[in-house]
Amino acid sequence: MNKKRPIFTLENLHQNDSWLLSTANVRNSDLLCSGSYDGFVNFYKLNKDKKNIEVIRKLGGLPGCLNNIKFSNVRGQDFSNIMLAVSHSKEEANGRWHVQPKVKEGISIIRRRNA
């Protein structure tokens, strides 16, 4: 039996030690993101040479628990039209530990801004 061990580990990713509720990555790239009930989506870059993961951006202002995150399909290495869909609700998908009664359920579409 093979025992798998983590190659990279990050701790305290979100505010106030919030639980991770959702993660996503762009296929065949080094871009990752995570969501929690603090209303932030954190973006990470995987660096294989340095054997670490670094936070590159924090996107806030999303309401409620971020239960699901999905990147749009990317062709090749063209990230110019990439979009991110984030579903948010009053509570976690599988429980009621952090209920936020004033939040409305919905989906937010986030599009990359060209700088």
Domain segments of the chain as ranges: 19-111
Q: Is the dihedral of CA 44, 45, 48, 50 positive or negative?
A: negative
For the residues 1-21, what does the mean pLDDT come to?
77
pLDDT band at residue 1 under the 50/70/90 scheme: low
**Rounded Cα distance, 54 and 32, in Å:** 10
Q: Is the dihedral of CA 76, 79, 83, 85 positive or negative?
A: positive
pLDDT per residue as tens digits for the range 63-99: 888 888 998 877 666 666 788 898 888 776 666 667 7
Rounded to a whole number of angstroms, the distance between the first and last alpha carbons of the chain is: 49
Task: Give yes or no for residue 40 having a pLDDT over 60.
Answer: yes
pLDDT at site 110: 85
pLDDT at site 48: 79
Which is higher by pLDDT, 53 or 2? Answer: 53
Instruction: Give residue 100's region: left, alpha or beta (phi > 0; psi -120 to 50).
Output: beta
